[in-house]
Structure 1
Amino acid sequence: MLLFAPFIVCVLALALDHLLGEPRRMHPIVGFGRLVTVVEKRLNIAPENPWRSLPAGMLAVLLLTVPMLILAVWVSVALEGLLLMLAQAVMLWLAISLRGLAEHGQAVAQPLHEGDLDGAREQVSRIVSRQASALDEQGVAAAATESMLENGADAVFASLFWFLIAGIPGVVLHRMVNTLDAMWGYRNPRFLYFGRAAARLDDLMGWVPARLTALTYMLLGDRKLAWWCWRTQAPLWDSPNAGPVMAAGAGALNVRLGGPSPYPSGVKQRPTLGGIQDASSASIEAAITLVRHGVWLWVGVVLAVTALIFLMVHS
């Protein structure tokens, strides 16, 4: 039973996610985000001074993560057996948000498919930071497709990875660090120095999961094109983890992503990723399917490895 516990917990968490989705009220990540805002306002008082802002950002990361990490370790030690498995399943459910990812993507794909560009722009503005009003149909589809691929890595596969590696403490630490990076990891005057510690820690924790996600996308899609895109296009991307994920995902779907993108601060020139097909509502749905199939591939691998260890132990 204990040997198969990780597999059982993953299945339970995915079942909870499928049945319940994201909690509509009192989501712990939302509460943590509010605390992050309060701490940042108190500590980030000299954002353009690296000698003050860098240490302040490091202190903020410690203040926000260490107490919760200690609590997560205590829960893992204090509970055992079925209670521990239930606690792990609940924590993993709160972290993965596979159903929420699909709902956000489909909310863009449906109006786009129906020709409602304004409705699609409104929906995509909720999941990306681009200037949605400046996006055409292909731009909206590309933005949503990219979001599905990248958030699949950050929210779904990385959470599964850190649960399998370190249980509840791993899941908690990763989600906190990823949230800090999402809120502070901007290269603007306010967060250039203050958010650097969070950004680097997120890069570190995401390095292995990102490449496993890229491998997953490659195995489940156009393998040859995904590998070529990963090898040649990923190094051109400015993020060490998003590059492999986005390039392999775009290649697996044979869809063209990246390129110039409008932001409130101006147009950002990004490398082109993937194949030759334009992004569309179909590519959004295909990206959602790719993430879903990838999750069940991971669960299948966990079961196969566990069964192999079981047979080796009892042979």
Structure 2
Amino acid sequence: MLPIELLLPTLLLGVLLDRWLGEPRRWHWLVGFGRLAGWLESRLNRGGGRLIGVLTLLLAVLPLPVLLLWLHLQWAGQPWLQALLAAGCLYLALGGRSLVEHAEAVAVPLHRGDLAAARKRVGWIVSRETASMDERQVSIATVESVLENGNDALFAALFWCLIGGAPAVILFRLVNTLDAMWGYKTERYHRFGWAAARLDDLLGWLPARLTALSYALAGDTRTALRCWRDQAAACASPNGGPVMCAGAGALNAQLGGTVIYHGKAVEKPPMGSGRWADGAAIDGAIRLLRRSLVLWLVAVALFSLPWLSGGTL
């Protein structure tokens, strides 16, 4: 949707804004959207089926991307305005700096032996119970969060900005947020949240595999590809499986094991290879995320070069 020669500047500006500013401390737009979505769900989810869920999703998600599409079309003859709009929306959709800060907030107390503080901090980024976690479980939860959210909060946003500019990246982030709110297989959400979960899977399918590939290229490539091939199918998430298996293999770390969700023990399949994840693996996951981001930007730059030099692809 954007001119090819503006793709790299758009991504760089969005990434730099995320790096410099981080997520808003107050008045975060996704928090506001979450409140709206919660209000709609509380009034429309009266034991209805999938159709009500589909209609509620459309009501919550469509207005902002449609407005952004209208703006983009209004600026059809002004590509730099389109690019600035896309970069601003990309910044709003990214959570790379926040993700790294939350991971470091777990790693630092782990390195100094303060397990209680590490448990508290990991509880801010995962939905599993953390009060009785040991050091290994805290490390595994943090590494899994970095790898999986690296896809949702960074690379998938970059992908949809490349594909469709401002409307596409905001549409993806809104659907991803609704999946996090409604995509549970509980009595309340199993049917109502079906559309949000399926649409998030669809929008995330290709970005997740590109993320898994970038993790593999940025780490132990052979082990990452083997773990992706052999282990991903056993994971519950069709997109999270490739991302976490490839990422764990790239780190030569093992993830999975017993996890407590809402008082119930769940046995997650093995992901990765080698030693169990520890505090050092958290540091490694952050470095893997950063190296993968460099790979994405270099790939976009190489794709853009013939256009920048006045040639053709």
Task: Assess same fold via TM > 0.5.
Answer: yes
Q: Distance in 2 between matches of 1:312 and 1:227?
A: 37
- Any residues of structure 2 matched to 1:7-86 within 5 Å, and which? 7-46=8-47, 52-79=48-75, 80-86=78-84
Is residue 247 of structure 1 aligned with residue 245 of structure 2? yes
Structure-1 residue corresponding to 2:94 = 96
Q: What does the per-residue CA deviation read over 1:133-177, in whole Å, with 9 as the maximum and x for residues that have no partner?
A: 121110000000000000001110000000000111110110010
Q: Which letter maps to 1:170?
A: A
Structure-2 residue corresponding to 1:49 = none
- Any residues of structure 2 matched to 1:126-205 within 5 Å, and which? 126-205=124-203
Q: Any runs of at least 4 consecutive aligned residues in structure 1 with deviations exceeding 6 A, and if so which? A: none
Q: Distance in 2 between matches of 1:265 and 1:118?
A: 20
Q: Which letter maps to 1:64?
A: A
Q: What does the per-residue CA deviation read over 1:253-295, in whole Å, with 9 as the maximum and x for residues that have no partner?
A: 0101011111223111110111121211111111111111111
Is there any run of 5+ residues in structure 1 with no aligned partner, and where? 47-51
Structure-2 residue corresponding to 1:225 = 223
Q: Distance in 2 between matches of 1:263 and 1:314?
A: 53
Q: Distance in 2 between matches of 1:301 and 1:221?
A: 17
Structure 2 length-normalised TM: 0.96
Q: What does the per-residue CA deviation read over 1:20-65, in whole Å, with 9 as the maximum and x for residues that have no partner?
A: 111111121111111110011011111xxxxx22111111111011
User: Post-superposition shift, 1:115?
Assistant: 0.6
Q: Distance in 1 between matches of 2:19 and 2:205?
A: 27
- SS of match in other structure, 1:245: helix
**Mapped contact 1:180–1:198 kept (Cα < 8 A):** yes
Change (3 A) 1:239 1:314: closer
Change (3 A) 1:141 1:311: same
Q: Distance in 2 between matches of 1:141 and 1:91?
A: 32
Is there any run of 5+ residues in structure 2 with no aligned partner, and where? none
Q: Which letter maps to 1:70?
A: V
Q: CA RMSD for the aligned pairs?
A: 1.5
**Mapped contact 2:5–2:307 kept (Cα < 8 A):** no
Q: Distance in 2 between matches of 1:129 and 1:208?
A: 25
Q: Which letter maps to 1:161?
A: F
User: Post-superposition shift, 1:310?
Assistant: 4.2
**Mapped contact 2:306–2:312 kept (Cα < 8 A):** no
